[in-house]
Structure 1
Amino acid sequence: MNNKKFVISFSGGKDSMLALHRMIKNGYTPVALLTTVKKNEGESWTHGINLDFLNRVSKSLGIDLITVECGVSEYESEFERKLLEAKEKGATICVYGDIDIEHHRQWGVDRCNSVNMNAEFPLWQENREDLVYEFIDNGYKAIIKTINLNNLGEEFLGEILTKDLIQKIKETGSDACGENGEYHTFVSDGPLFKIPINFEIESKILDENYGRLNIK
């Protein structure tokens, strides 16, 4: 019988959550969430979610958190080192929430090949918009945590992801799923959560190209 234990490259956003949801639904067992965190800053790369919230998500999901604290130069080597830690917990598969950007997929495959693990992409090449609706229809709740200001206005920051909001995102010319980096989310509740992650919006931080939501 194949080992059905996996670790998931977990951002705290909607795509990795949907990938996790599907794997569990298909009978696989998660041993850990693997999240990359900026060295000395204590928050996740890309989505900007601080460690406190990541730990709360881990506890609510009942899945251990493995953090990869790294700078840019050691990102790949540290990721692989932590994959080996997940292997010690029994994982033979690393799951990614990538949808259709080929070089992202290849990066994930390369990391797994280096440590002799299998890479799985449960959302691969499916319709982006359909995937967002599947996420919402499954009862997950996500807020928009970061945006690219070249694509979306600051009014989108802190909005709850709904089908109506997806239509508004599309009207800006942005991808419904934000797969091109237009926006990133933080998932705070849904069927896998034992309790919702409560938070307050503290402020919006805008710089030249990006807007970020500060939550506490």
Structure 2
Amino acid sequence: MNKRIVVSWSGGKDGCMTLHTLIEQGYEVISLVTTVPQELERTFGHGERTEMIRLQGEALGIPVHFIECTFDSYTDKFIEAIQYLKQQYHISAIAYGDLYLDGHRQWGEKVAEAAGVVALYPLWTKEEAALEALRNYVKSGYQAVVIRVRDDVLDESWLGRQIDQSFLRDIQKTASCPMGESGEYHSYVYDGPLFAKKIQLEGEELIQLETTKKLEFKNFRLV
């Protein structure tokens, strides 16, 4: 297997650690792959503006490939996109940032097999190791902010928090998985070892959605 791959990317800490780990292992990441609902200009994963994902790609020096799809066509469009990237760039694998949810891994492996590539899960671990995974992230040098929380687990005071030592301490006092593996919280990485530039975020606005609260940024740019 050659080492040309793509990484499934939603802009958060798990994808970033996946990217970092694989580059350390000698893989060549030719693209970050992100799904977007047709005509919404926001990501499926976290509901983030596509422009914020583009900025991450620019800061990292890795192009982003957006997959336009609907909820019903999500899997088929994902497979088609990976097949296209395999044909165009001769990739051999797609990497995911999942930690321990078997259903997520089964879907990812099914998609990879249908597209004719290998599924990589460099962060895969056991549920009880999630706290150690968060410790590893905090020590990694990457900087991320919490941009979304589930109302039934975390309140709005968690929005805008940096994922650092104090976050590591406090998340253990909640019912959340330390890594937010079930969507208890989502993050946005704006700086770190692989970033050539930092993403500056300004103008925070809290938005209440159906079952979650989200932090929007009115201004964002590379510095």
Identity, in percent, stands at 32
Q: Partner amino acid for 1:94?
A: I
Q: Deviations for 1:65-105, whole angstroms, at most 9, x for unmatched residues?
A: 10011110110011111112221212111000000000100
The residue number in structure 1 matching 2:121 is 121
Query: 1:166-205 CA distances to partner (integer Å, 9 max, x unpaired)?
Result: 2212212211111121101000011010001111143001
1:55 aligns with 2:58: no
Code of the residue aligned with 1:153 in structure 2: it is D
- Distance, in Å, in 2 between the alignment partners of 1:207 and 1:116 is 38
- Is the 8 Å Cα contact of residues 130 and 178 (structure 2) preserved in structure 1? yes
One of 194, 199, 216 as aligned partner of 2:196: 194
Task: Specify which of 160, 163, 168 is matched with residue 161 of structure 1.
Answer: 163
Structure 1 contact 11–35 (Cα < 8 Å) conserved:
yes
Residue in 1 that maps onto 2:150: 148
Query: Could you tell me how far apart the structure 1 residues matched to 2:5 and 2:118 are?
Result: 9
Contact 1:79 1:111 in 2 (8 A): yes
Partners of 2:151 and 2:17 in 1: CA distance: 26
Structure 1: 4+ residue segments shifted above 6 A? none
Indicate the RMSD between aligned Cα atoms, in angstroms: 1.1
Aligned residue number for residue 78 of structure 2: 79
Q: What stretches of structure 1 of length at least 5 have no aligned partner?
A: none
Question: Shift in Å at residue 207 of structure 1?
Answer: 3.0
Q: Who is 1:136 aligned against?
A: 138
**CA separation in 1, counterparts of 2:134 and 2:98?**
13
- 1:48 CA drift (Å): 1.9
Provide the TM-score with structure 2 as the length reference.
Answer: 0.93
Displacement of 1:134 in angstroms is 1.3
Q: Which residue does the alignment assign to 2:212?
A: 210
May I ask how many residue pairs the two structures share in their alignment? Answer: 215
Deviation at 1:46, TM superposition (A): 2.7
Question: How far apart are residue 38 of structure 1 and its match?
Answer: 1.9
Say whether the 8 Å CA contact 1:48–1:145 is kept in structure 2. no
Q: CA deviation at 1:138?
A: 1.3
Indicate if the aligned counterparts of 2:32 and 2:57 stay in contact, CA closer than 8 A.
yes
- The letter for the 1-side match of 2:164 is T
Check 1:156–1:201 CA distance in 2 against 1; reply closer, same or farther (3 A cut). farther
**Aligned position for 2:6:** 7
- The equivalent position to 2:174 in structure 1, one of 172, 175, 184, is 172
**Could you state the TM-score of these two structures normalised by the residue count of structure 1?**
0.96
Stretches of structure 2 lacking an aligned partner (at least 5 in a row): none
